[in-house]
């Protein structure tokens, strides 16, 4: 009820009046049935703008830190995220990330729309970064289509670190649904997960017109902040845990083997 009231009566009309969002391809969202909406991630406000324009409720997997804050601000933030159909996603890997995967699967199994940011975190500079394979595993296990959506200009409305938004027009482009049913029996295949993820990112690149960087955004953020790279920054949320390396095998594959950033 809160979600509907905020979307239709309070927050939705105000945002549409101030930011005048333009939308293309909205008919690519199925009228009913489960699907994943995979978006580029330019701003904190992406999770507000995009669901307001989709006729059906969209449940987003949001980083768990938004749900664990302390003090009045932390509690209000957690309440807002819960009341606006967002689920905590633990990005530390292992069993915690598996639990987040299960939450996403529950949304899809009941015929809902699940929103995911394949990059795993906001872009630090407006470019499109390498996708993490959790989106692929969910799509393959649930057997649902993936609708790519490009957010346009939201990084100008609310740059990282800025609390009050700039009032300017934003846009979004919904691409045609991507069907990966030919891989339905290969949901646990790491090579297939990477192939599917790369196809999703290719479509996001085409729709958004961003410059692509074949590197994880979380790793770049640490570098820009002058911090040492953490193993968690390059690992995959919601991905199948990698097998333990055999003796003499020091390589890590691109699906991540430790945690996520």
What pLDDT, on a 0 to 100 scale, did the predictor assign at position 244? Answer: 33
Catalogue all structural domains in the chain, each as residue range(s) with its CATH number: 2-234 (3.40.1130.10)
Q: Mark 154-165 as b/e (b = at least 16 C-beta within 10 Å).
A: bbebbeeeeeeb
β-pairing, 146-152 vs 128-129, is: unpaired
Q: What is the pTM of this model?
A: 0.81
Cα–Cα distance measured from residue 101 to residue 99, given in angstroms and rounded to the nearest whole number: 5
Structure tokens at 174: 């919904």
Structure tokens at 245: 């390396």
Intervals of the chain under pLDDT 50: 238-261
What pLDDT, on a 0 to 100 scale, did the predictor assign at position 229? Answer: 74
What pLDDT, on a 0 to 100 scale, did the predictor assign at position 10? Answer: 72
What is the CA 100 to chain-centroid distance, rounded?
Answer: 13
Selection from 50, 42, 35, 33 nearest residue 176 by Cα: 35
Selection from 124, 118, 125 nearest residue 150 by Cα: 118
The number of residues making up the chain comes to 261
Provide the edge-to-edge strand list for the sheet that holds 22-24. 22-24, 171-174, 146-152, 35-39, 113-116, 58-63, 86-89
Gyration radius of the chain's alpha carbons: 18
Q: Are residues 137 and 195 in contact, defined by beta-carbon separation less than 8 angstroms? A: no
Cα–Cα distance measured from residue 231 to residue 261, given in angstroms and rounded to the nearest whole number: 9
Residues with Cβ < 8 Å from 80, sequence gap 6 or more?
none
Cα–Cα distance measured from residue 171 to residue 61, given in angstroms and rounded to the nearest whole number: 22
What pLDDT, on a 0 to 100 scale, did the predictor assign at position 89? Answer: 62
What pLDDT, on a 0 to 100 scale, did the predictor assign at position 163? Answer: 77
């Amino acid at each position: 009820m809160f979600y509907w009231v905020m979307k239709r009566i309070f927050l939705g009309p105000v945002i549409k009046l101030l930011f005048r969002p333009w939308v293309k391809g909205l008919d690519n969202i199925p009228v009913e049935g489960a699907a994943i909406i995979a978006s580029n991630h330019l701003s904190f406000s992406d999770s507000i703008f995009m669901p307001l324009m989709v006729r059906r409720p969209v449940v987003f997997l949001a980083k768990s830190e938004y749900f664990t804050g302390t003090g009045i601000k932390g509690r209000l933030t957690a309440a807002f995220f819960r009341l606006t159909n967002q689920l905590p996603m633990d990005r530390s890997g292992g069993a915690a990330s598996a639990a987040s995967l299960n939450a996403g699967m529950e949304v899809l199994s009941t015929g809902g729309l699940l929103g995911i940011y394949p990059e795993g975190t906001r872009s630090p500079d407006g470019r499109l970064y390498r996708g993490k394979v959790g989106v692929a595993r969910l799509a393959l296990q649930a057997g649902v289509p993936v609708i790519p959506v490009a957010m346009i200009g939201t990084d100008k409305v609310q740059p990282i670190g800025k609390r009050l938004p700039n009032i300017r027009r934003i846009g979004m482009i919904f691409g045609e649904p991507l069907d990966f049913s030919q891989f339905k029996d290969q949901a646990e295949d790491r090579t297939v997960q990477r192939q599917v993820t790369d196809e999703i990112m290719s479509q996001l690149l085409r729709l958004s017109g961003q410059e692509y960087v074949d590197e994880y955004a979380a790793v770049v953020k640490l570098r820009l902040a002058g911090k040492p790279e953490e193993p968690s920054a390059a690992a995959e949320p919601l991905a199948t845990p990698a097998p333990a390396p055999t003796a003499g095998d020091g390589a890590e594959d691109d699906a991540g083997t430790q945690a996520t950033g």
